Amino acid sequence: MIHVMRARDLIGLPVVSVRSGEDIAEIRDVVYDSGNHRLLGFSLNKRGFFSGRLKGVLPTGPAVAIGSAAVMVSDDSVISNDAIGLEPLLDPASDLPVIGVRVLTSDGVDLGVVAAVIVTTGDAPKAVGYEIEAPAHHDTLFVPISAQLQLSDGNLMLPAEATDFIRNDLAGFGAAIASYRLPILEGDSR
């Protein structure tokens, strides 16, 4: 089973070095490329008495693991102050907002609006879905991200077949995306 959480719940978590055990930063914001539906990394705050924005950024990758209480890194060398190769993290290709966008299926069903991006936890964090506020259903829905997803300035288009994997709780959604996205998760860089 895949464990998932809302990306916004990562904000404020400490970034902890596995090597030293020290809190070396704090998650300031989650950087998400909405045009490509990819989790890019994190902007950071300093820790301690003189806290404030940290110049460095933390890209997702093999040195990062997400847990419910902390974001773990091998050491502080994974925090980069150098923009070379990190342009997508510092300036995502798409500036289209995803939060608040209406979600439609390819067969014309209006599911509601995006409330949050859902990410996997563990040592290969990826964006895997969206939380949808669904007033027509009087509920919250969780929908998977798929390769066929399209985002415009007003709508997020979801393939009709993805509706079989919609759940109304995060635990059930984690189990559903394991079967829906397994081939994609193994081969993509989200």
Residue range 26-34: average pLDDT? 87
pLDDT at 29 over 70: yes
Contact 57, 80 (CB under 8 A): yes
pLDDT over 80 (residue 7): yes
Question: What is the average per-residue pLDDT within 33-38?
Answer: 79
Predicted confidence (pLDDT) at residue 11 exceeds the cutoff of 60? yes
Per-residue pLDDT reduced to its tens digit, 72-117: 999 888 887 765 556 666 665 556 678 899 999 999 999 999 999 9
Structural domains of the chain sorted by starting position, each given as residue range(s) with its CATH number in brackets: 4-90 (3.90.50.10), 102-187 (no CATH)
3-state DSSP call for residue 187? Answer: helix
Rounded CA gap, 158 and 166, in Å? 11
Q: What is the mean pLDDT of residues 166-177?
A: 85
* pLDDT, tens digit (0-9, with 9 covering 90-100), for 108-151: 999 999 999 999 888 888 899 999 998 877 789 998 887 677 88
Q: CA-CA distance, 73 to 90, in Å (whole number)? A: 19
What pTM, to 2 d.p., does this model score?
A: 0.83
Distance CA 17, CA 28 (A): 17
Binning the chain into helix, strand and coil, the percentages to the nearest 5 are: 20, 40, 40
Please, which pLDDT band fits residue 183 given cuts at 50, 70 and 90?
very low
**pLDDT above 50 (res 184):** no
User: Is 154 in contact with 103 (CB distance < 8 Å)?
Assistant: no
Strands of the sheet containing 38-45, edge to edge, are: 53-59, 38-45, 23-33, 14-17, 71-73, 64-66
Would you state the pLDDT for residue 47? Answer: 82
Residues 37-57 pLDDT 10s: 788 888 899 887 667 888 888
- The average confidence (pLDDT) of the chain is 82
Whole-angstrom distance, CA of residue 64 vs CA of residue 58: 8
